[in-house]
């Protein structure tokens, strides 16, 4: 019944010296925020939440990752624009650029997860299973509860 | 190291047919919001959060209680005003009026818990222990996480 | 076509040493905010706007007046409660308590102006005419424009 | 004492079929919002205000113009990105791209007006004079009042 979270397909990683992978992060709870820099809802609600998750929870327990899933206005949201965006909005957690797909306007990870748009939130447990996938905004109260449950199971699992 | 949560001392209960007690609620996680109806921070931030906690989490797991801890402007915040306030602000969870104390401006539960003012949040676990006490506003993300931890321990405890 | 603004019928004035009257304020633009202290919309939007109007415009040009028009929960919103409310919410402009009417739940000024509820805004020009009456929230941009027009006409009228 | 507003130096106009000029718009009040699409304050506060100004006041009286004054991250905010930004944020008033200057990181209109950064607001009266220039956010109440004064003077001037 548990579904293995598919590996992220990333063209370029920003805000990190080394590329990240779900495989390598196994053992931690992973919170992936799929967004577009020109998605108003992402800018107003989702990325501020991602920053709060990043500072509220211990980096020993969880990792916050941004995934730039450009599926429209491709020319408008190139890497150079994303870099300036991350700088101006003070986003310091790692952000991967979802691998473009020559055969589709949707990038590869977005297609693999059948995301319906942005923002999309992925919650991955410490064993690498996809615990939840939400399209649209998730309230802080609910998200805090879900992350806590996953970190508790992680703590139990490590005994 | 765990501290037993002291029983609430309540003069009158509103929004409930029967008086409540921590003793009788044992087995559930209890979230107590101490507030004053004329405290701007309570009205703007805390009570909206209390309503969200009330609707986000299952009533099988947790109980949300308001405690009207009047320590100033006593004549201004009598029961008749509180009743109208709860009606207008659509607060439907049980609210107890903290028992006035003839020897102090502070009501009795407020004194017993050494609360510094309003809002004050009490988190009580399913065994009746005081897990946390916070003065001022607690962010949703953090509160959601703490409540989830308490409900998970409750679920484990019931096995 | 211009309608003379009817005199306010006030039981008690707060935040002012002397009773006010439209007659005596003639020559200034008068902004009257009819509100109830237990009206959530008034507390969240209208009274903060009234405070901004009070500080943005010169008191040489305009006068901001609150009018406590209690038409429901009368026992809950007595003078003692209103006084504490004004203190806690730091409302420093003059507030009149609309004169209760033995024959109606609506107080007298509210009836005279046929107000539909709270908040209601009255804009009175320097000649004592009722320029506008709005039920519900008026956006800042629009209100700023209307007040400016009235103060300009006042400046012209005084030549 | 009045200062003639210098003509806008624009490379490309968006959201308009024909290029605009202050000269040609003379007779109307002109509100110019200088912004950058990756300036968080502009996105959160200024552009929403510009949209409200655009819909609140009559287009017979005033014209709202956006001016994209890119002075940093030039590669990140090219025309293709700006076009997508305007589309996603539903900005429908005319926007001019401030003419780049080979000798400076600041574009030409920005330099001519000695703007200190973004957002900057220019208020130009119906005679083409620069009435005010504000750096940072201007509250709605104040802006509404200033625009109303300029439109009233315009109405008088046309007699």
Q: What is the pLDDT of residues D65-93, one digit of tens each?
A: 999 999 999 999 999 999 999 999 999 99
Percentage of chain D with pLDDT > 70?
98
- Write out chain A residues lying below 8 Å of B121, CB-based: none
Q: Are strands B29-35 and D95-98 parallel, antiparallel or unpaired?
A: unpaired
One-character DSSP codes across C106-157: S-HHHHHTT--SSSEEEEE-TTSBEEEEEES---HHHHHHHHHHHHHHHHHH
C-alpha dihedral, A118 to A124 to A128 to A131, nearest 10° = -100
Report the pLDDT averaged over residues A78-107. Answer: 98
Contact C39 B77 (CB under 8 A): no
- Write out chain D residues lying below 8 Å of C149, CB-based: 148, 152
Report the pLDDT averaged over residues D33-46. Answer: 98
Contact B73 C89 (CB under 8 A): no
State residue C157's pLDDT score. 78
Q: For chain C, which ranges sit under pLDDT 70? A: 1, 158-159
- Write out chain B residues lying below 8 Å of C72, CB-based: 84
How sure is the predictor about B158, in pLDDT bands with cuts at 50, 70 and 90?
A: low
B75: tokens are: 């004549």
Chains touching chain C at 3 or more Cβ pairs under 8 angstroms? B, D
The answer to whether chain C touches chain A by having 3 or more C-beta pairs less than 8 angstroms apart is no
Contact C145 D140 (CB under 8 A): no
Residue A158 sits at φ, ψ, to 5 deg, of -85, -5
Contact C88 B40 (CB under 8 A): yes
- Write out chain C residues lying below 8 Å of B84, CB-based: 38, 72-73, 75-77
Mean pLDDT for all residues in chain D? 96
Contact D76 A89 (CB under 8 A): no
How sure is the predictor about D156, in pLDDT bands with cuts at 50, 70 and 90?
A: confident
The answer to whether chain D touches chain B by having 3 or more C-beta pairs less than 8 angstroms apart is no
By Cβ distance, the residue of A40, A76, A88 closest to D81 is A76
- Write out chain A residues lying below 8 Å of D84, CB-based: 38, 72-73, 75-77
**Per-residue pLDDT tens for C26-67?**
999 999 999 999 999 999 999 999 999 999 999 999 999 999
CB proximity B25 to C under 8 Å: no
How sure is the predictor about A156, in pLDDT bands with cuts at 50, 70 and 90?
A: confident
State residue D2's pLDDT score. 77
User: Alpha-carbon distance D153 to D158, whole Å?
Assistant: 9
The predicted complex's ipTM stands at: 0.94
Of B120, B139, B122, B140, nearest in space to B131 by CA: B122
Report the pLDDT averaged over residues B130-141. Answer: 98
- Picking from B40, B44, B84 by the largest number of C CB atoms within 10 A of its own CB, the best residue to mutate is B84
By Cβ distance, the residue of A72, A81, A89 closest to D81 is A81
């Amino acid at each position: 019944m548990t579904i293995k979270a598919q590996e992220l397909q990333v063209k370029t990683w920003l805000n990190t010296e080394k590329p990240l992978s779900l495989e390598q992060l196994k053992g931690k709870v992973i919170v992936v925020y799929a967004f577009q820099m020109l998605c108003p809802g992402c800018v107003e609600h989702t990325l501020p939440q991602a920053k709060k998750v990043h500072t509220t929870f211990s980096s020993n327990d969880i990792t916050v990752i941004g995934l730039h899933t450009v599926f429209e206005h491709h020319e408008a949201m190139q890497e150079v624009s994303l870099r300036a965006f991350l700088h101006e909005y003070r986003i310091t957690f790692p952000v991967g650029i979802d691998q473009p797909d020559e055969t589709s306007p949707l990038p590869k990870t977005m297609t693999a997860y059948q995301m319906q748009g942005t923002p999309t939130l992925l919650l991955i447990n410490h064993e690498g299973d996809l615990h939840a996938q939400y399209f649209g905004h998730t309230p802080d109260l609910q998200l805090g509860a879900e992350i806590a449950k996953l970190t508790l199971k992680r703590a139990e699992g490590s005994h």
